[in-house]
Structure 1
């Protein structure tokens, strides 16, 4: 029997339940601003979704999933709050679009995956001793792999007077709502749970209004063509278009799905206006974008996604993968986040996206441990978490990468190195960039130098002072970009940070995989490093110090030439050369 709509939505964050005025102007476009699982998150067959929508008028409306209309009796709600109930049997994850009187909404990716967690409301968080906002009664337990996770989580919940409210089954991780009324009670229960033989780790969330942006305190230089020229952006687009469209001897391309862990994208900007509706895939060579709608064109998710998918010559941004339209295979860019439940939600969304066929994940986020210091010995005060929270996150992320290696060995995750002027590869300082696995690519940030030298010269670009560094950083890319704008031909603000260098690498990896989908993560890394230009001075393989931006280029990455001038320098992304080497890889015996 169906539960009432309001009771189903009680588990949603307070901001999602805030209804807007019903008198919406007829001219206002239909926009899906939130889409989250609600009701019983443990139910996998009959799933319920709650939506916050603006622009719907009174009267009939229709919802389509993967282009197929949903039965009207499965739809309910009024005003801005809607509810969908889906029987998942025979259905697949895909774009959800609302339509009314000929108007269509932005397409949002609706995942039928089983991994979902609940975010805390404002009255369910408190400040801990470190002054960080922490969840009072919501924690997650990572169950040892030799236990039935669901059964054991239920047993633990009964023992401690808790309730299982969320889960990430592939990682044997289950979210519990404790009976705790304050942080002291929570910590006492966490201590007892941590002593259970079946519990590998307990994850506590330190997230209020979770910020996905990584603040870069450096002054932003003007972003112009010279920033992306330092990575041969336009040369790469030209090469892909020219090399792959030849009638004779052309290269067959293959569809690639990219997941971007961000909140939303502003579809009212010229950069994204032509993604509205669900007819994108009628053109097999067109890039398609699926995301919740944002209110601000300069928001983090819009800018990160724009580096991949923004329309060209409209405003602000020009997406790399969008530039490959008409020649490319039809890329899918899915912008999604399970909820606002911090790092746990990022991981849950990533699991669902991988199960939905994503080959490249863009993680333009990361956290530092309290007490981490920068290269000058000063403490880092941005995106910090307590030691106990970091320990839980580390175990959860470790489970994620173990799962990737065992079940999805060809999926790659591209992560920003961070903007703390610190060490990206030290797990006592930074997550997730400190993990050592072939499937994780770590990206630092650089900007155009003031030197008048050729693009190939190591001095053409200089590292961003704020960019995290060390041997764990695989490559560096341009960190500064214009944001999208509300009006055509208007120049956006300049934002800088490793968050914006990361999608340049993620987009390039997707393009490489579209050319040769057989490439494995270690081969992709090899091609990135072999094609890389240099940046900075030579450091002769000394222990990592403050001036090392990435792992130094090795002789093996330069055809075993010990005297190659690139050897010992840090690596700077060369998008053109990487695509060239990828095409060449098709002719080699694997």
Structure 2
């Protein structure tokens, strides 16, 4: 009898343990919260990646890369941390996810292209004279093109008793850890390194470990569907679905979009169905990202403009609305590490080499001393003059590389939220760069005027939006954020950060129709299709009223008396798609 009781007790214990395990799994789903290169970042043959996992118990699990399970010997586990080793010769960049107990994690993008930089810890930063957090012992060297970057960086590291710890090889940029314990020692070494004949520039990073990419501005009391209506969002989705239906005369092509953000909350209804092997359906939009803890983060909202599920109460993604007829868009959310602007550039290089055609940069920085349109100093997202000089050189190298090696790639950048000027290189980066491959987006919101959508008075500039002639176009700045509860309406998020993915998503859709479109042609179609905003100033506006580059006669079929001439440009998503299809027909 005792044996029977003992056997029954064991079965009940096992059942209780199973119930507890199942409940725990239900409470904490399987998620990849962090993925970064680790170990020797200069080693490219076999690359190591370290992951932070939640919801993983002690049972067996599987890790897949591009749909192929990784061998057990490639995995090392230590609690919630997982280290994987990937042979670059036998693998390609692609999505990675975990599986356990019939659960699948969020897929994260693993790039094997090799551009990676190290972020400083809280103990490795200090406040400089401007009161800005800066790295004490980590700097990056941009090596002159005439030198072998890797060899020269190693030579300089040995000369100055430093260590090469990171790199962006396509830009001949290498990160060094200096033997510096304070900013005086660092600055002395930076000065000496900057005087080396082989060094083009030194990049000093000014970034906190968890600083927001672009600060949001004050929210309106209410933001309804009229915001995106001002850019004809639904008309564009409807047009793409009708005109490019299956069996039609236009064959669309898949496009990859790179979003430089930290993470996305896959526990929200907006992203809950992006888990596991998304690409099993060739026509749907896929999202690859680290998992966020909260639904209202910057990355989740920006990614939501591209890919959030429809009618779930939160966001509604433009590319997600094209799923039934679309070619399969990949939205890759990655920021490399928390190493500030240098990491943003490293991630962008990797993504471009992984086939991304559109980069979304919903971030930007102002130089200390930058003034807004009212003559007051900008007090957010500012960097010292020394840091700005290094960033400017790094971004210049990036755009030169882009023009030479990847002329078909476009970067879409937010104009900024400081009521300042987007186009002055003395004040703001990266929006001040003038290149066909960089699109700059300002933000507007619905006005109180009872007029038709096409009327320039239908919207007004967001008070905080940066302006001037470097801005290519303005788009709706206010969106609904994702929520943790199904059918719950998200709060309004406002800023040029959210106008930017509207333009980036549209450009991706245009490329899917005609992949041969050049950046110059895309800009032409965007501007020719644009509606208007603001008042006419006969091409001589005061700085405070110059919202975007004014619409020219050449953008209105050379009609000198066209009413749009001289006004600023507002995004028309429907008309841009229509003109893209029309231009494709003429090409044929």
Structure 1 stretch 73-82 or stretch 302-311: which is displaced more? 73-82
In structure 2, how many angstroms separate the alpha carbons of the residues matched to 1:483 and 1:165?
Answer: 38
CA distance in 1, matches of 2:85, 2:366: 39
Asked whether the equivalents of residues 412 and 521 of structure 1 are also in contact (C-alpha less than 8 Å), the reply is yes
* Structure 1, gaps ≥5 residues long: 1-21
Residue 212 of structure 1 is matched in structure 2 by 212
1:371 corresponds to: 369
Q: 2:533·2:570 contact (CA, 8 Å) conserved in 1?
A: yes
In the alignment, what sits opposite 1:167?
A: 167
Of 350, 369, 376, the residue aligned with 1:352 is: 350
Contact 1:164–1:177 (Cα < 8 Å) also in 2: yes
Map of 1:257 onto structure 2: 256
Choose from 410, 415, 418 the match for 2:413.
415
Give 1:588 shift: 2.2
- Give the secondary-structure state (helix, strand or coil) at the position aligned to 2:212: coil
Counterpart of 1:133 in structure 2 is 133
Structure 1 position 120, deviation (Å): 0.3
Question: What is the match of residue 281 of structure 1?
Answer: 279
Checking the alignment, whether the CA contact within 8 Å between 1:471 and 1:544 is kept in structure 2 is: no
The reply to whether residue 299 of structure 1 matches residue 283 of structure 2 is no
d(CA) in 1 for partners of 2:436, 2:291: 34
- 1:84-483 equivalences under 5 Å are 84-245=84-245, 247=247, 249-278=248-277, 280-483=278-481
Q: Counterpart in 2 of 1:495?
A: 493
Find the residue that maps to 1:588 and give its secondary structure: helix
Partner of 1:576: 574
CA deviation vs aligned residue, 1:47-72 (integer Å, no higher than 9, x gap):
00000000000121110000000010
Give how far 1:209 is off. 2.6
> 2: distance between equivalents of 1:97 and 1:255?
22
Partners of 1:226 and 1:517 in 2: CA distance: 31
Count of residues paired in the alignment? 567
CA distance in 2 between partners of 1:70 and 1:214 (Å)? 37
Separation in structure 1 between the aligned mates of residue 216 and residue 338 of structure 2, nearest angstrom: 22
Can you list the C-alpha shifts for 1:92-129, whole angstroms capped at 9, x where unaligned? 00000111121110000011011000000010000111
Q: Is contact 2:507-2:522 (8 Å) kept? A: yes
Contact residue 311 and residue 318 of structure 1 kept, 8 A? yes
Contact 1:218–1:465 (Cα < 8 Å) also in 2:
no
Q: Is the 8 A contact 1:485 1:491 kept in 2?
A: yes
Separation of aligned partners in 1, 2:217 and 2:268:
27
Give the Cα separation in 1 of the matches to 2:123 and 2:257. 35
| Worse-superposed segment, 216-225 or 55-64 | 216-225
Contact 1:212 1:365 in 2 (8 A): no
SS of 1:477's partner is strand
**1:196 is paired with a residue of what secondary structure?**
coil
Do the aligned residues in 1 keep the contact of 2:219 with 2:492 (CA within 8 Å)? no
Please state if 1:74 is matched with 2:74: yes
Distance 1:277 1:114 in 2: 25
Q: Work out whether residues 213 and 364 of structure 2, in 8 Å CA contact, stay in contact via their aligned partners in 1.
A: no
Q: Separation in 1 of the partners of 2:23 and 2:135?
A: 36
Contact 2:120 2:209 in 1 (8 A): no
The match for 1:561 is 559
Q: How far apart, in 1, do the equivalents of 2:315 and 2:262 lie? A: 19
The separation in 1 between residues aligned to 2:212 and 2:502, in whole angstroms, is 18
Deviations 1:237-267 (A, max 9, x none): 00000111164x5321000000000000000
Structure 2 CA distance for aligned equivalents of residues 332 and 426 of structure 1: 33
CA–CA separation in structure 2 for the residues paired with 1:465 and 1:530: 26
Distance 2:49 2:200 in 1: 31
Q: 1:522 aligns with which of 496, 520, 523?
A: 520
TM-score, normalisation: structure 1: 0.95
Question: What is the SS of the residue equivalent to 2:550?
Answer: coil
1:16 aligns with none
Between Structure 1 and Structure 2, the one with more helix by share is 2
The residue aligned with 1:15 is none
Please state how far the C-alpha of 1:543 moved relative to its aligned partner.
5.5
Counterparts of 1:219 and 1:286, CA distance in 2? 32
Task: Tell whether the 8 Å contact from 1:24 to 1:57 is kept in structure 2 after alignment.
Answer: no
CA distance in 1, matches of 2:383, 2:257: 28
Q: Could you tell me how far apart the structure 1 residues matched to 2:180 and 2:23 are?
A: 41
- State the secondary structure of the residue aligned to 1:514: helix
Distance 1:23 1:184, change over 3 A: farther
